[in-house]
Amino acid sequence: MKARLPAVAPRPSPRERATKTSPVAKRVLDGDMRALARLISDVEEGRPEAREVLRTLYPHTGNAPIVGISGPLGVGKSSLINQLLQHLRGKGKTVGVIAVDPSSPFSGGAVLGDRIRIERDPDDTGVFFRSMASRGHAGGVAQSTRDALRLLEAFGMDVLLVETVGSGQVDVEIHDIATTRVVVVVPHLGDEVQTLKAGLFEIADVFVVNKSELPGSERAVKDLQELAYLSVPRDGWTPRVVPTSAAQRTGISELWQAVEDHESAMRNGPGAEAGRKARAEQELRELLRERIERLAEEELGKEASWKTLLQEVVAKETDPYSAADRAFQELKRRI
Ligand SMILES: Nc1nc2c(ncn2[C@@H]2O[C@H](COP(=O)(O)OP(=O)(O)OP(=O)(O)O)[C@@H](O)[C@H]2O)c(=O)[nH]1
Ligand SMILES: [Mg+2]
């Protein structure tokens, strides 16, 4: 007799899969803002339940543009975000904003939160703003930011904005999550622009010269444009330079147009697949590194010879290089 293949049930849609496995995921998909806010806190605190929800929400993510807005302190990033919010709401777009707060989690947290005042109608469910501390994330702040952005997208936000301060490693990591990277400068940054210039063209798709009502802005725009033309285009895109004044509300629609142009160039261009791959690879590597580190720490902690080894280094009976080699060999045997 012929073996019968088991009947194949119709594949559940992503939405069915999500709602079946997690009522919390369903609440996010249904636009429950309190569930969203709580889950973002869970992500920040590194709760495993949040990962579970993210797993089921994953099929609902990956399509919204993520616009990274970075630049030195006080150049007007938050003010620009406020203007962009109004512009985008005017076009009927819903917007999620994550601001990565440079303050330490031990200083009460909300340095940036206090500085930003998002101007919005409190009843408007089309905007969600959240400030996150840049430190104290078990899996790294970049991963928490990715996770929070996914929650915002699954909730139904059309556009995602991320504000980061400065140009340190953490900011670069977060900036790399973005599908369009905006770097904000102001006229007469002086030395700061000189130091920024070196690495600037690798991290920006759009430059904004904000506070452009101040003297010197034309010069700054021209300088940046010259540099942009000289730079090697990435995936066929030459960085755009846009003067704005968040104070006088000028240049905002031009800024958004530049972002949209970049988004569509990337979506339809030859680099689209490569960009998605690069972002996926970076995330996978980070997630794996986190697990390997945790596993290694746990294994080392169990190891009685670890204490002996440490003692030997302190007593200068062995050097740290040989000790690390021995510990590593031991770990490889056990893992
Ligand atoms: N003259 C002028 N001032 C501006 C403009 N945009 C913002 N500002 C002012 O610049 C200061 C800093 O603005 P923010 O929007 O907080 O700047 P930021 O880059 O978010 O600051 P941090 O998050 O602290 O790095 C505020 O006093 C703003 O009112 C502008 O276009 N022109
Ligand atoms: Mg700010």
Conformational region of residue 191, where left means phi above 0, alpha means psi within -120 to 50, and beta covers everything else: alpha
Atom of ligand 1 nearest to the CA of 99: 23
| Nearest ligand, CA 70 | 1
Whether ligand 1 lies within 6 angstroms of the CB of 211 is answered as yes
Q: Give burial (CB, 10 Å; 0-12/13-18/19+) of 201.
A: buried
C-alpha 271/C-alpha 90 separation (Å) is 31
Residue-wise pLDDT tens digits, 118-161: 666 777 889 999 988 877 777 778 889 999 999 999 999 999 99
Whether ligand 1 lies within 6 angstroms of the CB of 247 is answered as yes
For the chain, state the CA radius of gyration: 24
Look at the block and give the residue holding tokens 């993510």: 61
From first to last of its 335 residues, the chain has per-residue pLDDT tens of 444 555 555 565 655 555 456 899 999 999 999 999 999 999 988 888 899 999 999 999 999 999 999 888 889 999 999 999 999 999 999 999 999 877 544 444 444 444 556 666 777 889 999 988 877 777 778 889 999 999 999 999 999 999 987 656 667 777 779 999 999 989 876 655 555 655 666 778 999 999 999 998 998 899 888 888 877 777 788 999 999 999 999 999 999 999 999 999 988 887 778 888 888 998 999 899 988 888 888 888 777 788 889 999 999 999 999 999 998 898 888 77
Amino acid occupying residue 34: R
Tell me, which fold does domain 61-270 have in CATH?
Rossmann fold (3.40.50)
pLDDT at 137: 74
Parse the chain into domains and list their residue ranges. 61-270, 284-334
C-alpha 272/C-alpha 47 separation (Å) is 33
Ligand 1 centroid to residue 210 C-alpha, Å: 9
pLDDT at 111: 46
- Say if CB 161 and CB 130 are below 8 A apart: no
pLDDT at 116: 58
| Nearest ligand, CA 247 | 1
Ligand 1 centroid to residue 123 C-alpha, Å: 26
C-alpha 85/C-alpha 97 separation (Å) is 9
The set of residues, in sequence order, having a beta carbon less than 8 Å from that of 104 and lying 6+ positions away, is: 133, 135
pLDDT at 58: 94
Alpha helices by DSSP H, listed for 22-140, are: 23-29, 33-45, 48-57, 77-90, 111-115
Atom of ligand 1 nearest to the CA of 102: 23
C-alpha 166/C-alpha 172 separation (Å) is 9
Query: Model's pTM, two decimal places?
Result: 0.84
- Say if CB 312 and CB 318 are below 8 A apart: yes
User: What residue's CA is closest to ligand 1, atom 13?
Assistant: 76
| Nearest ligand, CA 72 | 1
The set of residues, in sequence order, having a beta carbon less than 8 Å from that of 185 and lying 6+ positions away, is: 71, 72, 75, 192, 193, 196, 207, 208, 209, 210, 220, 224
Give the helix/strand (H/E) hosting 132: strand 127-133
C-alpha 75/C-alpha 61 separation (Å) is 31
Look at the block and give the residue holding tokens 């019968």: 4
pLDDT at 234: 75
